[in-house]
Amino acid sequence: MSEPLSAAEPHSVAELEDLAFELRSKLLNLCGTYEGAVHIGGDLSAADIFTALFHYGLNVDPTDIANPERDRFVLSKGHAAVCMYIAMAMRGFFSYDGIVDTYGQLDSAYGMHPCKVQLPGVECSTGSLGHGLPIAVGMALSARHRGDDHRVVCLLGDGETGEGSVWEAAMAARSNELGNLVAFVDRNRQLMTSFAEERVVFEPYPDKWRAFGWNVVEIDGHDMGDLVAAIDALPATDSNRPTVVIAETVKGKGVDFMEHNLAWHAGSLGAADLEKAMAALESTRKKETV
Protein backbone atom coordinates (compact mmCIF):
# COMPACT_ATOMS: atom_id res chain seq x y z
CA MET A 1 0.00 0.00 0.00
CA SER A 2 1.42 3.42 -0.92
CA GLU A 3 2.01 6.13 1.62
CA PRO A 4 -0.43 9.03 1.44
CA LEU A 5 0.82 11.88 -0.73
CA SER A 6 2.10 15.09 0.69
CA ALA A 7 0.21 17.90 -1.04
CA ALA A 8 2.11 20.99 -2.19
CA GLU A 9 3.35 23.21 0.56
CA PRO A 10 0.55 25.52 1.70
CA HIS A 11 2.02 28.57 -0.07
CA SER A 12 0.52 32.01 0.51
CA VAL A 13 -0.79 34.00 -2.47
CA ALA A 14 2.26 36.30 -2.23
CA GLU A 15 4.63 33.31 -2.34
CA LEU A 16 2.79 31.91 -5.34
CA GLU A 17 3.09 35.28 -7.10
CA ASP A 18 6.85 35.17 -6.52
CA LEU A 19 6.97 31.65 -7.93
CA ALA A 20 5.02 32.76 -11.01
CA PHE A 21 7.52 35.60 -11.52
CA GLU A 22 10.39 33.14 -11.25
CA LEU A 23 8.66 30.81 -13.71
CA ARG A 24 8.31 33.65 -16.26
CA SER A 25 11.97 34.65 -15.78
CA LYS A 26 13.11 31.06 -16.32
CA LEU A 27 10.91 30.78 -19.41
CA LEU A 28 12.36 33.94 -20.92
CA ASN A 29 15.87 32.78 -20.15
CA LEU A 30 15.20 29.49 -21.97
CA CYS A 31 13.64 31.37 -24.87
CA GLY A 32 16.81 33.48 -25.07
CA THR A 33 19.17 30.50 -25.11
CA TYR A 34 17.24 28.00 -27.29
CA GLU A 35 17.89 28.52 -30.97
CA GLY A 36 14.46 27.46 -32.24
CA ALA A 37 11.02 28.97 -31.63
CA VAL A 38 9.35 28.63 -28.23
CA HIS A 39 5.56 28.97 -27.79
CA ILE A 40 6.24 31.86 -25.48
CA GLY A 41 2.88 33.69 -25.84
CA GLY A 42 0.75 30.80 -24.58
CA ASP A 43 3.40 29.86 -22.00
CA LEU A 44 3.26 33.32 -20.45
CA SER A 45 -0.55 33.38 -20.48
CA ALA A 46 -0.67 30.09 -18.59
CA ALA A 47 2.23 30.72 -16.17
CA ASP A 48 0.02 31.72 -13.23
CA ILE A 49 -2.28 28.73 -13.80
CA PHE A 50 0.69 26.32 -13.89
CA THR A 51 2.06 27.89 -10.71
CA ALA A 52 -1.25 27.63 -8.87
CA LEU A 53 -1.64 24.01 -9.93
CA PHE A 54 1.88 22.65 -9.36
CA HIS A 55 2.64 24.68 -6.23
CA TYR A 56 -0.77 24.71 -4.60
CA GLY A 57 -3.65 22.76 -6.10
CA LEU A 58 -2.39 19.43 -7.37
CA ASN A 59 -1.87 16.61 -4.94
CA VAL A 60 1.36 15.30 -6.47
CA ASP A 61 4.71 14.34 -5.01
CA PRO A 62 7.92 14.53 -7.07
CA THR A 63 9.47 11.82 -4.89
CA ASP A 64 6.60 9.38 -5.49
CA ILE A 65 5.42 9.96 -9.06
CA ALA A 66 3.53 6.68 -9.41
CA ASN A 67 1.49 6.93 -6.22
CA PRO A 68 -2.00 5.79 -7.25
CA GLU A 69 -3.60 8.47 -5.09
CA ARG A 70 -1.94 11.33 -6.95
CA ASP A 71 -3.96 13.83 -8.94
CA ARG A 72 -3.49 13.47 -12.70
CA PHE A 73 -2.65 16.52 -14.80
CA VAL A 74 -3.23 16.52 -18.55
CA LEU A 75 -1.78 19.38 -20.60
CA SER A 76 -4.18 19.48 -23.51
CA LYS A 77 -2.53 22.59 -24.98
CA GLY A 78 0.63 20.54 -25.40
CA HIS A 79 2.54 23.35 -27.10
CA ALA A 80 2.91 24.94 -23.62
CA ALA A 81 4.99 21.95 -22.49
CA VAL A 82 8.09 23.94 -21.60
CA CYS A 83 6.12 26.05 -19.14
CA MET A 84 4.87 22.84 -17.53
CA TYR A 85 8.40 21.36 -17.43
CA ILE A 86 9.76 24.44 -15.68
CA ALA A 87 6.83 24.65 -13.22
CA MET A 88 7.42 20.96 -12.44
CA ALA A 89 11.18 21.54 -12.13
CA MET A 90 10.50 24.30 -9.62
CA ARG A 91 8.36 21.80 -7.66
CA GLY A 92 11.25 19.28 -7.65
CA PHE A 93 10.30 16.93 -10.49
CA PHE A 94 13.11 17.82 -12.90
CA SER A 95 16.26 19.90 -13.12
CA TYR A 96 15.83 23.33 -14.70
CA ASP A 97 19.40 23.21 -16.03
CA GLY A 98 18.62 19.85 -17.65
CA ILE A 99 15.68 21.47 -19.46
CA VAL A 100 17.77 24.44 -20.64
CA ASP A 101 20.64 22.19 -21.76
CA THR A 102 18.60 19.79 -23.89
CA TYR A 103 15.21 21.37 -24.69
CA GLY A 104 13.99 20.59 -28.20
CA GLN A 105 17.02 18.48 -29.16
CA LEU A 106 16.76 15.11 -30.81
CA ASP A 107 16.37 12.41 -28.10
CA SER A 108 15.81 14.98 -25.35
CA ALA A 109 13.13 14.10 -22.79
CA TYR A 110 12.08 17.75 -22.97
CA GLY A 111 10.42 17.96 -26.35
CA MET A 112 8.38 20.84 -27.72
CA HIS A 113 5.36 18.69 -26.86
CA PRO A 114 5.26 16.46 -23.78
CA CYS A 115 5.91 12.72 -23.97
CA LYS A 116 5.04 10.59 -20.96
CA VAL A 117 7.27 7.74 -22.18
CA GLN A 118 10.35 9.97 -22.38
CA LEU A 119 9.58 11.92 -19.24
CA PRO A 120 8.13 10.00 -16.29
CA GLY A 121 6.08 12.37 -14.16
CA VAL A 122 4.23 13.66 -17.21
CA GLU A 123 0.84 11.93 -17.24
CA CYS A 124 -0.13 12.22 -20.88
CA SER A 125 1.54 12.76 -24.26
CA THR A 126 -0.16 15.62 -26.09
CA GLY A 127 0.38 18.17 -28.84
CA SER A 128 -2.38 17.46 -31.29
CA LEU A 129 -5.01 19.85 -29.98
CA GLY A 130 -8.42 18.55 -28.93
CA HIS A 131 -7.21 15.25 -27.48
CA GLY A 132 -6.36 16.08 -23.88
CA LEU A 133 -9.88 16.52 -22.53
CA PRO A 134 -11.15 13.24 -24.06
CA ILE A 135 -8.18 11.44 -22.46
CA ALA A 136 -8.82 13.20 -19.14
CA VAL A 137 -12.46 12.03 -19.30
CA GLY A 138 -11.23 8.45 -19.70
CA MET A 139 -8.85 8.86 -16.75
CA ALA A 140 -11.62 10.32 -14.56
CA LEU A 141 -14.01 7.53 -15.56
CA SER A 142 -11.34 4.96 -14.79
CA ALA A 143 -10.82 6.50 -11.33
CA ARG A 144 -14.57 6.24 -10.73
CA HIS A 145 -14.63 2.58 -11.71
CA ARG A 146 -11.70 1.83 -9.40
CA GLY A 147 -13.20 3.75 -6.51
CA ASP A 148 -10.22 6.17 -6.42
CA ASP A 149 -10.89 9.69 -5.25
CA HIS A 150 -8.10 11.70 -6.87
CA ARG A 151 -8.81 14.53 -9.32
CA VAL A 152 -8.04 14.70 -13.02
CA VAL A 153 -7.15 18.25 -14.06
CA CYS A 154 -6.83 19.28 -17.69
CA LEU A 155 -5.53 22.58 -19.13
CA LEU A 156 -6.86 23.65 -22.52
CA GLY A 157 -6.33 26.64 -24.78
CA ASP A 158 -9.46 28.54 -25.74
CA GLY A 159 -8.62 28.25 -29.43
CA GLU A 160 -8.26 24.52 -28.91
CA THR A 161 -11.87 24.36 -27.77
CA GLY A 162 -12.84 24.99 -31.39
CA GLU A 163 -12.11 21.27 -31.85
CA GLY A 164 -15.29 19.13 -31.91
CA SER A 165 -13.68 16.40 -29.79
CA VAL A 166 -13.59 18.84 -26.85
CA TRP A 167 -17.39 19.10 -26.87
CA GLU A 168 -17.89 15.36 -27.28
CA ALA A 169 -15.70 14.96 -24.20
CA ALA A 170 -17.61 17.70 -22.36
CA MET A 171 -20.87 15.88 -23.03
CA ALA A 172 -19.42 12.52 -21.97
CA ALA A 173 -18.07 14.04 -18.74
CA ARG A 174 -21.50 15.34 -17.76
CA SER A 175 -23.24 12.13 -18.84
CA ASN A 176 -20.89 10.14 -16.61
CA GLU A 177 -21.26 12.63 -13.74
CA LEU A 178 -17.52 13.18 -13.44
CA GLY A 179 -17.25 15.55 -10.50
CA ASN A 180 -13.62 14.38 -10.21
CA LEU A 181 -12.76 16.16 -13.49
CA VAL A 182 -11.65 19.80 -13.67
CA ALA A 183 -10.82 21.69 -16.86
CA PHE A 184 -8.95 24.98 -16.84
CA VAL A 185 -9.30 27.04 -20.01
CA ASP A 186 -6.54 29.56 -20.73
CA ARG A 187 -8.91 32.15 -22.22
CA ASN A 188 -6.31 34.44 -23.78
CA ARG A 189 -8.57 35.20 -26.76
CA GLN A 190 -5.79 34.57 -29.25
CA LEU A 191 -5.28 31.63 -31.58
CA MET A 192 -2.14 31.01 -33.62
CA THR A 193 -2.48 33.68 -36.32
CA SER A 194 -5.63 35.59 -35.31
CA PHE A 195 -7.63 36.90 -32.40
CA ALA A 196 -10.31 34.54 -31.14
CA GLU A 197 -13.58 36.27 -31.92
CA GLU A 198 -12.36 37.39 -35.37
CA ARG A 199 -12.15 33.91 -36.87
CA VAL A 200 -14.22 31.77 -34.53
CA VAL A 201 -17.06 33.11 -32.41
CA PHE A 202 -16.61 31.60 -28.96
CA GLU A 203 -18.96 33.89 -27.02
CA PRO A 204 -21.16 33.41 -25.11
CA TYR A 205 -18.36 31.11 -24.00
CA PRO A 206 -19.25 30.32 -20.35
CA ASP A 207 -22.86 29.64 -21.43
CA LYS A 208 -21.62 27.01 -23.86
CA TRP A 209 -20.02 25.06 -21.00
CA ARG A 210 -23.14 25.60 -18.86
CA ALA A 211 -25.27 24.21 -21.68
CA PHE A 212 -23.14 21.05 -21.55
CA GLY A 213 -24.02 20.71 -17.87
CA TRP A 214 -20.68 21.82 -16.36
CA ASN A 215 -20.15 23.77 -13.18
CA VAL A 216 -18.63 27.02 -14.54
CA VAL A 217 -16.21 29.27 -12.63
CA GLU A 218 -14.98 32.51 -14.21
CA ILE A 219 -11.79 34.12 -12.92
CA ASP A 220 -8.95 36.47 -13.76
CA GLY A 221 -6.26 33.94 -14.69
CA HIS A 222 -3.48 36.32 -13.62
CA ASP A 223 -4.93 36.97 -10.17
CA MET A 224 -3.31 34.43 -7.86
CA GLY A 225 -5.98 35.07 -5.23
CA ASP A 226 -8.67 34.16 -7.77
CA LEU A 227 -6.82 31.00 -8.79
CA VAL A 228 -6.37 29.87 -5.19
CA ALA A 229 -10.02 30.61 -4.37
CA ALA A 230 -11.19 28.65 -7.43
CA ILE A 231 -9.05 25.67 -6.39
CA ASP A 232 -10.23 25.88 -2.77
CA ALA A 233 -13.88 25.93 -3.90
CA LEU A 234 -13.69 22.89 -6.20
CA PRO A 235 -16.53 20.48 -5.50
CA ALA A 236 -15.84 17.13 -3.85
CA THR A 237 -14.52 14.45 -6.19
CA ASP A 238 -17.62 12.31 -5.57
CA SER A 239 -19.94 15.11 -6.76
CA ASN A 240 -21.71 14.72 -10.08
CA ARG A 241 -20.72 17.71 -12.21
CA PRO A 242 -17.39 18.39 -13.88
CA THR A 243 -16.01 21.88 -13.31
CA VAL A 244 -14.50 24.26 -15.85
CA VAL A 245 -12.46 27.21 -14.62
CA ILE A 246 -12.44 29.80 -17.39
CA ALA A 247 -9.34 31.87 -16.69
CA GLU A 248 -9.24 35.21 -18.53
CA THR A 249 -5.63 35.76 -19.51
CA VAL A 250 -3.40 37.78 -21.81
CA LYS A 251 -1.18 36.04 -24.33
CA GLY A 252 2.41 37.11 -23.64
CA LYS A 253 1.50 38.30 -20.11
CA GLY A 254 4.33 40.08 -18.33
CA VAL A 255 6.32 41.24 -21.36
CA ASP A 256 4.74 44.39 -22.80
CA PHE A 257 5.90 43.92 -26.39
CA MET A 258 4.56 40.36 -26.46
CA GLU A 259 1.15 41.07 -24.96
CA HIS A 260 -1.80 40.89 -27.42
CA ASN A 261 0.78 40.53 -30.19
CA LEU A 262 0.11 37.84 -32.82
CA ALA A 263 3.82 37.77 -33.68
CA TRP A 264 4.57 36.19 -30.29
CA HIS A 265 2.51 32.99 -30.49
CA ALA A 266 5.93 31.42 -30.94
CA GLY A 267 9.33 32.97 -31.31
CA SER A 268 12.88 33.20 -30.11
CA LEU A 269 14.73 35.95 -28.31
CA GLY A 270 18.20 37.17 -29.24
CA ALA A 271 20.46 38.53 -26.50
CA ALA A 272 19.23 42.12 -26.91
CA ASP A 273 15.56 41.08 -26.94
CA LEU A 274 16.11 38.89 -23.90
CA GLU A 275 17.44 41.86 -21.99
CA LYS A 276 14.44 43.95 -23.10
CA ALA A 277 12.01 41.17 -22.14
CA MET A 278 13.61 40.71 -18.71
CA ALA A 279 13.46 44.46 -18.07
CA ALA A 280 9.78 44.50 -19.10
CA LEU A 281 9.03 41.62 -16.76
CA GLU A 282 10.96 43.24 -13.92
CA SER A 283 8.98 46.48 -14.36
CA THR A 284 5.66 44.62 -13.89
CA ARG A 285 6.96 43.36 -10.56
CA LYS A 286 7.99 46.84 -9.49
CA LYS A 287 4.55 48.19 -10.40
CA GLU A 288 2.87 45.45 -8.40
CA THR A 289 5.01 46.01 -5.33
CA VAL A 290 4.67 49.84 -5.23
Ligand X SMILES: Cc1ncc(C[n+]2csc(CCOP(=O)(O)OP(=O)(O)O)c2C)c(N)n1
Confirm if 148 and 69 have CB atoms less than 8 A apart.
yes
Q: Which residue blocks in the chain are alpha helix, DSSP H?
A: 13-33, 40-52, 81-91, 96-102, 132-146, 164-175, 196-199, 205-211, 224-232, 271-289
Min dist. Cβ of residue 159 to ligand X (A): 3
- 192 forms part of the interface with ligand X (CB under 6 A): yes
Min dist. Cβ of residue 46 to ligand X (A): 7
Smaller CB distance to ligand X: residue 42 or 114? 42
Please report, as residue ranges, which positions from 238 to 257 form the binding site for ligand X (by CB under 6 A). 251
- 157 forms part of the interface with ligand X (CB under 6 A): yes
Please report, as residue ranges, which positions from 47 to 76 form the binding site for ligand X (by CB under 6 A). none
Q: In what order do the strands lie in the sheet with 152-157?
A: 72-75, 152-157, 181-187, 243-248, 215-220
- 125 forms part of the interface with ligand X (CB under 6 A): no
Residue from the set 51, 125, 190, 215 that interacts with ligand X by CB under 6 A: 190
Three-state DSSP state, 83: helix
Confirm if 137 and 175 have CB atoms less than 8 A apart.
no
Confirm if 196 and 205 have CB atoms less than 8 A apart.
no
- 77 forms part of the interface with ligand X (CB under 6 A): yes
Smaller CB distance to ligand X: residue 70 or 253? 253
Listed residue (261, 241, 235, 238) closest to 250, CA to CA: 261
* In the complex, residue closest to ligand X by CB: 157
Min dist. Cβ of residue 245 to ligand X (A): 15
- For 102, residues 6+ apart whose C-beta sits below 8 A from its C-beta are 108, 109, 110
Please report, as residue ranges, which positions from 13 to 52 form the binding site for ligand X (by CB under 6 A). 42, 45
Q: What is the DSSP letter of 152?
A: E
Cα dist from 126 to 5, 24, 123, 132, whole Å: 26, 22, 10, 7
Min dist. Cβ of residue 199 to ligand X (A): 11
Smaller CB distance to ligand X: residue 180 or 188? 188
Stretch of 126-134, 208-216, 218-226, 228-236 lying at the interface with ligand X (CB under 6 A): 126-134
- 188 forms part of the interface with ligand X (CB under 6 A): yes
- 183 forms part of the interface with ligand X (CB under 6 A): no
Smaller CB distance to ligand X: residue 263 or 279? 263
Min dist. Cβ of residue 232 to ligand X (A): 25
Smaller CB distance to ligand X: residue 76 or 215? 76
Neighbours of 78 (CB within 10 A): 25
- 158 forms part of the interface with ligand X (CB under 6 A): yes
Confirm if 72 and 150 have CB atoms less than 8 A apart.
yes
Min dist. Cβ of residue 92 to ligand X (A): 26
Smaller CB distance to ligand X: residue 8 or 46? 46
Q: How much is the CA Rg of the chain, to the nearest whole Å?
A: 18
| Contacting positions for ligand X (CB under 6 A) | 42, 45, 77, 79, 127-130, 157-160, 186, 188, 190-192, 251
